[in-house]
Structure 1
Amino acid sequence: MTEQFLESLSSSAGICHPDCVRASNEQEDYDASQSAALVAVSLISSARVILKLDNEFTEYSAQFLVDNAGKEEVEGEMDQQRSQVNLRNLLQYMVENVWIKREDRQGEMDQQRPHLTVKDCFEFAFKKGLPLSQHWAHVGCTFKAPPFACQIPRVPMKGQVIEAADLDEGLKLCRQQPVGARLHVFSPEFDLVGEEGIYDGPSGDGSRYVGLRDAIIVEFDKREGKNLVTVQILYKKKTSFVKVSGKSMILPLIGDDGSQVTEPTCLLVDFCVPRLSIN
């Protein structure tokens, strides 16, 4: 029954329930936990290919991290065979979690969910492993994972989180693998930069601080004496590559969402990578 359950998950990968589609359309531009989880699994997948732990880029489940990382866990709960995969338990799960009003279910999940960082996601993956993306719900799924989800196989992930104190150290890490970071985003400057432009941060009194957004540093170079850092970032539900000035500084300020910059800082901060063990 477990194998049939996994086959059904794989065959339905990428298919969204109407409730999930509706929730995605209603969702605001940015979900911190989803963004952190997506960056974390991408960096882990890249590191595994570089170390030849995977023969090809393998997608691991970001939603597994959103559902589980950062929560207070009953000791060993995820590793216990709490519920067998059988028709009766499947039907019970459908009755209790699917055939109810979406608003009630979504409100309950929002109350339970912490705000994750990329570092949180790395640490949880190293502790519990990760399932393949096709064996877990899609990112943004509004349905609670069933108790028998503990039987879904996970790939062990051994390693540690390596952090860099500043951009120079972060770029040194980038010589070995892509690096996670967060970018201070300002509007309308970031909206207008395009693929060929350079994002320099705020340009005047009309600038609005949007907040920090998770990103992946994929390469860096110098142009006309400037350090340019190319990042991959999910912004307004679209993934793009943007060149960021490595030397631009911003002053203390408060964003519309309550986020704060308390001291002068570079546009890119909070650098980290998953240092995987091959043993």
Structure 2
Amino acid sequence: MAELLLQSFSNTAGLCHPDCVQASNEQEDYDASQSAALVAVSLISSARVILKLDTEYTQYSAQFLVDNTGKEEVEGEMDQQSSQVTFENVFQYLMENVWIEKEDRQREIDQQRRELTVKDCLEFAFKKGLPRRQHWAHVGCTFKAPPFACQIPRVPMKGQVIEATNLSEALKLVMQQPVGARLHVFSPEFDRVGEGIYGGPSGNDGSRYVGLRDVVIVAVKPIEGKTVVTVQIVYKKKTSFVKVSVRNMILPLNGDDESQVIEPTCLLVDFCIPRLSIN
């Protein structure tokens, strides 16, 4: 029965229940926990290929991290075979979680949710391992994981989270592997960057601070004598690669709203990588 369950996950990978599609359409531009989880699994997948722990780039489940990171565990639920995969248990799960009113299910999810960081997700992955993406629900799934999900195999992840204290340290780490970071995003400057270089606020009165967004630094190179990094970012539900200037400093914006005032700093902050152990 467990093998049939895994096969069903693989066969339906990437497919969404209509409730999930509706929830995604209704969701605002940014979900911090989903973004952090996506960056965390991207960093782990890249590091495992570089260290030859995986023979090819393997995608791991970001939704597993969203579902479990930082939550109070039911004793034995994740690490013991506490619930067998039987037709009766599957039917009971469907009755209690899938066929209930969507509003009730979404309300429960919202009550349990807390904002995760990339560091949170990496530390949890090192503690509990990760299932491959095709063996878990898709990102943004609105359904609670069944208790018999403890039987879904997870790949052990050994290592620790390494944090860079400044940009110079982070750029050295990029020479070894992609680095997680957060980017200060301003609109409309970021929306209009295209193939150009994003340098933060332009100083125009219409400039608006959007917030910090999780990114993966994938490359560093000089352009016209200035150091520029390329980051991968999910912005407005689309994945793209953007060139970012590392020398520009953010200046406080004018305005009465304190949320629009940012202390001078580099555009990129909060750097970290998963330092995997090969033993």
Q: How far does residue 76 in structure 1 lie from its aligned partner after superposition?
A: 4.0
Which residue in the other structure is 2:165 paired with? 165
1:1-279 alignment runs, 5 A limit? 1-194=1-194, 196-204=195-203, 205-252=205-252, 263-279=263-279
Distance change in 2, residues 1:258/1:56 (3 Å): farther
Distance change in 2, residues 1:258/1:145 (3 Å): farther
Q: How far does residue 218 in structure 1 lie from its aligned partner after superposition?
A: 0.5
Secondary structure at the residue paired with 1:171? helix
Unaligned runs of 5+ in 2: none
Distance in 2, Cα, partners of 1:104 & 1:174: 44
Distance in 2, Cα, partners of 1:118 & 1:146: 25
Q: Name the stretch that deviates more: 68-77 or 158-167.
A: 68-77
Distance in 1, Cα, partners of 2:238 & 2:186: 16
Distance change in 2, residues 1:156/1:245 (3 Å): same
Q: Count residues with an aligned counterpart.
A: 278
Q: How far does residue 74 in structure 1 lie from its aligned partner after superposition?
A: 3.9
| Paired letter, 1:47 | A
Distance in 2, Cα, partners of 1:83 & 1:69: 21
Distance in 2, Cα, partners of 1:75 & 1:170: 38
Q: Name the stretch that deviates more: 57-66 or 257-266.
A: 257-266
Secondary structure at the residue paired with 1:191? coil
Give the RMSD, CA atoms, in angstroms: 1.8
Identical-residue share of aligned pairs (%): 80
Distance change in 2, residues 1:129/1:260 (3 Å): farther
Distance in 1, Cα, partners of 2:152 & 2:175: 35
The answer to whether the 8 Å contact 1:209/1:255 transfers is no
Secondary structure at the residue paired with 2:141? coil
Q: How far does residue 244 in structure 1 lie from its aligned partner after superposition?
A: 0.4
Distance in 2, Cα, partners of 1:233 & 1:41: 14
| Paired letter, 1:174 | V
TM-score normalized with structure 2 length: 0.96
Distance in 1, Cα, partners of 2:43 & 2:260: 27
Distance in 2, Cα, partners of 1:258 & 1:108: 32
The answer to whether the 8 Å contact 2:76/2:82 transfers is no
| Paired letter, 2:59 | E
The answer to whether the 8 Å contact 2:77/2:147 transfers is no
Q: How far does residue 82 in structure 1 lie from its aligned partner after superposition?
A: 1.8
Q: How far does residue 77 in structure 1 lie from its aligned partner after superposition?
A: 3.1
Deviations 1:195-218 (CA, angstroms, capped at 9, x unpaired): x20101001221000000000001
Unaligned runs of 5+ in 1: none
The answer to whether the 8 Å contact 1:81/1:148 transfers is yes
The answer to whether the 8 Å contact 1:210/1:256 transfers is no
Q: Name the stretch that deviates more: 67-76 or 128-137.
A: 67-76
The answer to whether the 8 Å contact 1:33/1:117 transfers is yes
Deviations 1:66-125 (CA, angstroms, capped at 9, x unpaired): 000011224543112221100000000000000011111011111101111000000000
